[in-house]
Every structure is written in C-alpha cells, then in structure tokens.
Chain A
Amino acid sequence: AQSVTQLDSHVSVSEGTPVLLRCNYSSSYSPSLFWYVQHPNKGLQLLLKYTSAATLVKGINGFEAEFKKSETSFHLTKPSAHMSDAAEYFCVVFSFQKLVFGTGTRLLVSP
C-alpha cells in the first residue's frame, strides 16, 4: 500500500523567509501526489498536484513542490512566507481509488 510521511508536525518561520514542508512517500509504482491546505475551521483546499508530467509543480499562492523519485520525496516550498500562509498542510497520495493523507504539518508564521 502507498503511504506518505510528513516529517514535521510543526514548522515555524518569520514572514518573508522561505518555507519548506517535507513529505516522503512510499510507492511500488509512479504515484499521484497532492498537497492540500486547511485554514482554521475550514475544509481542505488543493494547493498542487503531481501526476508524472513535470517534476517541478507550481501551485496556488506561490507554492511549488518538486517530485524526486530517487529520494521518494515531494517537499513543498515557498520563497517568501506571508502571514496568510499560516495553516495546516497535508501531503496526500492517491492509491487504489482512495486518497491517503499524511498526518499534517502546521505552519506558523510570525511577524
């Protein structure tokens, strides 16, 4: 079965500094991977998705992620954090008609 591991439960950054949220996956074949964001008291929103077209995927709000097969990673990055980026982020893999969610990383952004 495919799975994802989010390596940090919390990440703290200052506004204007880079963001790195780490995700590793396990898969026996080429996976479909996603990043979702959840703002407080809201449902989840798709940030970006990887489906084997390009290894560098650009998403909404300036986020991007790079698929690295050799490292089985799909880390999420943003060059400059904004206060509005404070939220919980989920790495997700598609497996057998089901989406399997990581445990989430809470991003804290300080002024």
Chain B
Amino acid sequence: NAGVTQTPKFQVLKTGQSMTLQCAQDMNHEYMSWYRQDPGMGLRLIHYSVGAGITDQGEVPNGYNVSRSTTEDFPLRLLSAAPSQTSVYFCASKSRESSYNSPLHFGNGTRLTVT
C-alpha cells in the first residue's frame, strides 16, 4: 500500500496565482483532512471531509477550497496565493470506525512558498 500520497513535494508560486495540492489515499479511509504547519504553531486544520461529497471547515479555512468527489482523493485549492500561505501542507486520513481513537495517517507534505 502507498498510504497517503501528496503531490507536488515542493512548489513556488507568485502572489495571485492559483494551484491545487493533490492528496490521494489507498486505504479506503472515509475521513480526510488538510493541515498547515508553521514554525511554533503546530499543525492547524484547514478543511476536512468525513466522506465523499461532504466537507467542512477547520480552524484556518480562508483562502482555501476543497472538494471530495471520490473516497480516494481530497485536493486542496489555493484560489489566489498570498505570502501568508507559505507553509508546509499535510494531508491526513483515517478510518471512521471508532473514529475518536483511530490514528491519522499522514502524507510526507508539500512545501509551498509564495513570493
């Protein structure tokens, strides 16, 4: 199993450009989520999904869109990139069975720089 796969690993954008960060998992997990990691701030939840067709906002959703058309994929879209979105982005998934204690499986991250 590949687990959680994120692409690309690195990306540089200019202010105002748009792009999509890809996330795919092959574990048939219902729950998928996007986090951003910034120094001294831990991981903050951007958006999450509890199943295909269902998404919800996390702690820092502004400037980001998501959709969940399939169980496997959960892309994150930056509509108009800003320097404040420079960060490392992680996608994570988990099974909903006993959802309160099932662990998250993380991808290896996408390092995004906005100039």
Contact = CB atoms under 8 A, between A and B. Distances in A.
A51 interface: yes
Interface in B22-56: 35, 40-45, 48, 50
Interface in B97-115: 99-101, 103-104, 106-109
Interface residues of A, number: 21
A104 B106 CA distance: 16
Interface stretch (A14-22, A38-46, A65-73, A78-86): A38-46
A41 B106 CA distance: 12
A46 B103 CA distance: 7
Interface residues of B, number: 23
27 contacts: A34-B103, A41-B108, A41-B109, A42-B109, A43-B4, A43-B106, A44-B43, A44-B90, A45-B106, A46-B103, A46-B104, A49-B103, A51-B101, A94-B100, A97-B50, A97-B99, A98-B45, A98-B48, A98-B58, A98-B59, A99-B45, A99-B104, A101-B35, A101-B42, A101-B43, A101-B44, A104-B40
